[in-house]
Amino acid sequence: MSKGQIIPKKGAGGALPHSALEALAVLNTIVDAAQEYAQVREAEQTKRDVIEAQKQVALAEIHARSELFLTYLDRSFDEREKNFENLFAALDKAMTDGGGNVAEILGSITTLAAASPFKDLHDPVQVRAALDDPDKVWDV
């Protein structure tokens, strides 16, 4: 037996000696710590699950907004293309007929070319509402 080593012995009446009570207290501390670890681990896993769910929602929103943006651009550029086609057709007719509105049509072409198709994209809610509105007239 080494110096300082405590050997548990049963005392009179079967009572646990002081060193056995200390061992039991240490065991209880270990069990309590293990239970606390399990609770903390579960709480942290729950937090990670919430973060993952929030991530999925954010990614879905980003995807939906990008689809909205691309749809808007498709419609916007389609409308711009039609407007340019109409203006150039009107310009050809005015030049062929010798009409006096050539300068006005050229002004419209220049204005349309200078206008950005991105100017109305600052509010995605309005863009979504416009895209969902079957009666919306797309002026570009």
The pLDDT of residue 26 is above 80: yes
The token duo for 60 is: 């879905």
Report domain extents, the chain.
15-132
Instruction: Confirm if 131 and 75 have CB atoms less than 8 A apart.
Output: yes
Query: Per-residue pLDDT tens for 41-85?
Result: 999 999 999 999 999 999 998 888 888 878 877 887 888 888 889
**Closest to 64 in 3D by CA, of 10, 128, 137:** 128
- Does this model's pTM top 0.95? My answer is no
The pair phi, psi for residue 11, each rounded to 5°, is -90, -170
From CA 38, how far away is CA 102, in angstroms rounded? 81
